[in-house]
Homo-oligomer: A and B are copies of this chain.
Amino acid sequence: MQPISKARLEQFSDGVFAIAITLLALEIKVPHLENTDLKNSLHELLPLIPNIATFILSFLGIAIFWVNHHQLTRNISTVSRRVVWGNMLFLLFVTLIPFATSAMAENYGNILAVMTYSLILLGSSSSFSILRYFVEKHEGNTKVKILRSLVGPMVYSLAFLSAFYSLGTTYALLIIPPLFYFLPRK
């Protein structure tokens, strides 16, 4: 296989990121409001709250993936076959995030929906760690920072498992990776 140009890999990936992040908002179903009176209409909006919370969580997730993806590819010189397909596996999970968001928002409080969401984010973060490993190895970088890269996969695994016992814990765990990202770093 001839090497893939970095510019086009980024261009294609940016397209997928941009579409996935924009489709998130499309999944917030527009309610058909029956009342023209403010007080009664507000009641009809209540079911939108879990939708909006999930929307923001997924938006943050994809945004962080985009920033990390950018920082990963920015210093590489060539793209190997393994990097191309590691990237494709990662994008496969990214394209599933709008589906997972919609499943969780429309089935608020359903254990299976929460597990699906956790699983798809586990897939995204794990495949990103694999991609990072491929890139670092291809670049001849021997001391790969494994630990930080494993925070996401570990927390999402815990979120998945905790769903068997307490959905509240799962929801709390799902918020940790974005928060962790914004922690000040030394």
Q: A173 within 8 Å of B by Cβ?
A: no
Q: How large is the interface on A (under 10, 10 to 19, 20 to 34, 35 or more residues)?
A: 35 or more
**In this assembly, does A8 line the interface, its C-beta being within 8 Å of a C-beta of chain B?**
yes
Docked pose: A54 CA to B109 CA in angstroms: 28
Cβ–Cβ < 8 Å partners of A156 in chain B: none
Chain B contacts for A28, CB-based, 8 A: 99
Contact of A84 among B10, B24, B67 (CB under 8 A): B67
Among residues of B, the one whose C-beta sits closest to the C-beta of A67 is: B84
- CB contact under 8 A between A22 and B25, given known A30-B106, A33-B110: no
Instruction: Identify the stretch in A11-19, A131-139, A140-148 within 8 Å (CB) of chain B at 4 or more residues.
Output: A11-19
Give the copy number.
4
Residues 81-130 of A contacting B (Cβ, < 8 Å) = 84-85, 88, 91-92, 95-96, 98-99, 102-103, 106-107, 109-113
10 contacts between A and B (CB under 8 A): A1-B71, A4-B67, A11-B11, A19-B19, A21-B95, A22-B23, A22-B95, A33-B112, A36-B110, A59-B95
Measuring CB to CB, which residues of chain A are less than 8 angstroms from any residue of chain B? Answer: 1-2, 4-5, 8, 10-12, 14-26, 28, 30-33, 35-38, 41-42, 44-45, 56, 59, 63, 66-67, 70-71, 74-75, 84-85, 88, 91-92, 95-96, 98-99, 102-103, 106-107, 109-113, 164
